[in-house]
C-alpha cells in the first residue's frame, strides 16, 4: 500500500500495479527545477521521523486567511532526471488506502460537481491533476472533456498571481477530491488574495457555477465580523460547505466556526489488525501544531449541535486524516518536485466534501452540516488523543461520542452524510 515513514528508516508496503505511465520528460524536468514554497515556514517534525513545513504563513490578522496544508520534506521522492518513475508507488496514502479506511465505494461522485476554493494561482494545476489521476488509474478530468474548470473568483479567466505555497494547497485539494470522488466534475476557483472577502466571493462564485459541494482548506482568526461573513459568503442552503478546523492545535479558526459549514477536524490514521484494518486518534504534534478545535467566541451554535460545554458554535463536526506523519500522496510541480506527502486539516476538508458528493445531492433548503448528527452510529468514533488540556476537556480531548478535535468521528460509509 503506501510507504510509511518511521523514526530511523522508511519501509515500503507492497507496490500497487501501476495502471498508467506517468508524466513526460518535460513535466519531470519542470518539477525538478521548481523552487520550494516561498511562503513555507521552518520545518517541524514528529516522533515518527517525518518533517514538514507549512505551505502558507500562519494568518494572525482577522480578515486574512492561510492555507492549512503541511508538506512533508523528507518523504521519498520517486523522480528520475528525465521524468517521474513509471513503476513506483508514491509515498503517502493513495485512493485505495483512503477508500479502505473510510469504507467508501470506488467510482464515487458521478453526476456531482465539487468546487475547491483557494487563493492565488497554480499554473500547473490541470497538468498535475492529470498525473495524479493517471498514476492511480482514475478517469481523466480535463478542461477538454468538460470535467475540470478553473476560474478566478468572479468566474472568469483573469487568474491571480502565481503562488508556490497555495499551489501546494491546490494540488492537495484536487488530488483528495480525485481520490474520494473520481467521477465528479471539479471547479477550481482561485481568489485574488487570501482575504476573507476574496475567498468568500470565490465561494459564492462556486455555488453560482453549479457546485453542490464546496471545500475550503483555509482559516484565520475569529472576529466580531464573522456573523456578517456568514451571511455574505457561507450561508448556502442545499449546498455542502466544508472548512478545515486548522493546524495550530486547540483554538478556533474562521470559517470553520461558521454555523453554516461542516467543520472538519484531523486525525492520525494508521493500519492495524482490527476488523476495520485501521485506527485513528486525534492528530497532535505539539502544543502549537495539531487539529484545531474549541468553542467559538462569536458564532452562533446551530440547532443540531447540543453539547453542553459551549454556548456558541463548537468546532469540529467530523474529521478525517490530517497528520502529516500519516499523510497522503500529492503530485505538485509548481513549488514542488513531483510526488510528495501532505497533511494538515487541508487534506481532511476536501475528503469530507467528496464523501458528501458520494452520498448524493442534499435536499433543497437543507444544511448538510446537520446530517452527521442524525446518523451518529454511522461514523468511526475516535476516542483517543488530545491536543492540550482544557475545560471542559471534551473541547480538546477525544472520548466516546462528540468531542472538539474529531467531532462525531470519521466516515464509515456514506450513511452519515445523507439528508
pLDDT in tens, the chain (419 residues): 444 343 333 333 333 333 333 333 333 333 333 333 344 454 565 545 679 999 999 899 999 999 999 999 987 654 433 334 555 679 999 999 999 999 999 999 999 999 999 999 999 999 999 999 999 999 999 999 999 999 999 999 999 999 999 999 999 999 999 999 999 999 999 999 999 999 999 999 999 999 999 999 999 999 999 999 999 999 999 999 999 999 999 999 999 999 999 999 999 999 999 999 999 999 999 989 999 999 999 999 999 999 999 999 999 999 999 999 999 999 999 999 999 999 999 999 999 999 999 999 999 999 999 999 999 999 999 999 999 999 999 999 999 999 999 999 999 999 999 98
Helix (H) or strand (E) holding 171: helix 164-180
**What is the model's pLDDT at position 406?**
98
Q: What is the pLDDT of residue 29?
A: 34
Judged by phi (left if over 0) then psi (alpha if -120 to 50, else beta), residue 49 lies in left
Residue 69, CA atoms < 13 Å, CB-side half-sphere: 34
CA distance 84 to 67: 27
Farthest CA pair distance, the chain: 59
Q: What pLDDT score does 37 carry?
A: 38
Cell 516561498, residue located: 38
Beta-carbon contacts of residue 280 (< 8 Å; ≥ 6 apart): 267, 268, 269, 270, 319, 321, 380, 382, 406, 410
- Asked whether 183 and 109 are in contact (CB, 8 A), the reply is yes
For 120-195, list the strands marked E by DSSP. 148-152, 185-191
Terminal Cα distance for the chain, rounded: 33
Residue 88 C-alpha cell reads as: 513506483
How far is Cα 62 from Cα 152, in angstroms, rounded to an integer?
23
Distance CA 54, CA 48 (A): 18
8 Å CB contact between 305 and 295? no
Instruction: Report the distance separating Cα 250 and Cα 57, nearest Å.
Output: 18
Which candidate, 128, 126, 162, 123, places its Cα nearest to that of 143?
126
CA distance 104 to 101: 8
Grid cell listed for 250: 486547540
- pLDDT of res. 87: 52
> What is the distance between the alpha carbons of residues 292 and 374, in angstroms, rounded to a whole number?
23
Dist. CA 253–CA 256, nearest whole Å: 6
What pLDDT sits at residue 5?
Answer: 40
> Within a 13 Å sphere around the CA of 364, how many CA atoms are in the beta-carbon half?
0
d(CA 5, CA 47): 10
Amino acid at each position: 500500500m503506501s510507504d510509511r515513514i518511521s523514526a530511523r528508516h522508511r519501509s515500503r508496503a507492497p507496490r500497487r500495479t501501476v495502471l498508467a505511465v506517468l508524466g513526460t520528460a518535460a513535466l519531470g524536468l519542470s518539477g525538478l527545477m521548481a523552487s520550494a514554497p516561498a511562503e513555507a515556514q521552518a520545518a517541524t517534525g514528529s516522533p515518527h521521523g517525518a518533517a514538514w513545513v507549512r505551505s502558507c504563513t500562519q494568518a494572525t490578522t482577522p480578515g486574512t486567511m492561510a492555507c492549512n496544508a503541511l508538506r512533508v520534506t523528507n518523504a521519498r521522492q520517486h523522480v528520475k532526471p528525465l521524468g517521474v518513475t513509471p513503476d513506483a508507488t508514491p509515498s503517502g496514502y493513495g485512493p485505495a488506502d483512503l477508500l479502505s479506511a473510510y469504507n467508501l465505494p470506488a467510482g464515487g461522485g458521478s453526476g456531482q460537481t465539487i468546487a475547491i476554493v483557494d487563493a492565488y494561482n497554480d499554473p500547473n494545476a490541470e497538468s498535475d491533476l492529470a498525473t495524479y489521476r493517471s498514476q492511480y488509474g482514475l478517469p481523466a478530468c480535463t478542461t477538454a472533456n468538460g470535467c475540470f474548470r478553473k476560474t478566478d473568483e468572479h468566474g472568469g479567466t483573469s487568474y491571480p498571481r502565481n503562488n508556490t505555497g497555495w499551489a501546494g494547497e491546490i494540488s492537495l485539494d484536487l488530488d483528495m477530491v480525485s481520490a474520494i470522488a473520481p467521477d465528479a466534475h471539479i471547479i477550481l476557483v482561485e481568489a485574488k488574495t487570501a482575504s476573507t472577502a476574496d475567498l468568500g466571493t470565490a465561494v459564492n462564485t462556486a455555488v453560482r457555477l453549479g457546485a453542490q459541494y464546496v471545500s475550503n482548506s483555509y482559516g484565520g482568526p475569529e472576529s466580531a465580523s464573522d456573523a456578517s461573513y456568514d451571511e455574505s459568503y457561507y450561508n448556502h442552503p442545499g449546498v455542502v460547505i466544508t472548512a478545515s478546523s486548522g493546524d495550530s492545535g486547540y483554538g478556533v479558526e474562521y470559517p470553520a466556526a461558521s454555523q453554516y459549514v461542516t467543520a472538519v477536524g484531523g486525525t492520525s490514521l494508521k493500519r492495524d489488525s482490527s476488523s476495520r484494518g485501521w485506527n485513528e486518534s486525534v492528530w497532535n504534534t505539539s502544543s502549537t501544531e495539531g487539529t484545531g478545535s474549541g468553542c467559538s467566541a462569536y458564532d452562533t451554535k446551530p440547532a443540531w449541535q447540543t453539547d453542553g460545554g459551549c454556548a456558541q458554535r463548537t468546532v469540529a463536526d467530523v474529521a478525517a486524516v490530517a497528520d502529516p506523519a500519516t499523510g497522503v500522496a500529492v503530485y505538485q510541480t509548481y513549488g514542488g518536485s513531483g510526488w510528495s506527502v501532505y497533511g494538515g486539516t487541508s487534506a481532511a476538508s476536501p475528503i469530507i466534501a467528496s464523501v458528501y458528493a458520494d452520498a448524493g445531492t442534499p435536499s433543497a433548503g437543507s444544511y448538510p452540516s446537520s446530517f452527521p448528527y442524525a446518523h451518529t452510529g454511522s461514523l468511526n468514533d475516535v476516542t483517543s488523543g488530545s491536543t492540550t488540556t482544557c475545560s471542559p476537556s471534551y473541547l480538546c480531548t477525544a472520548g466516546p461520542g462528540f468531542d472538539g478535535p474529531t467531532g462525531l468521528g470519521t466516515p464509515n460509509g456514506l450513511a452519515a452524510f445523507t439528508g
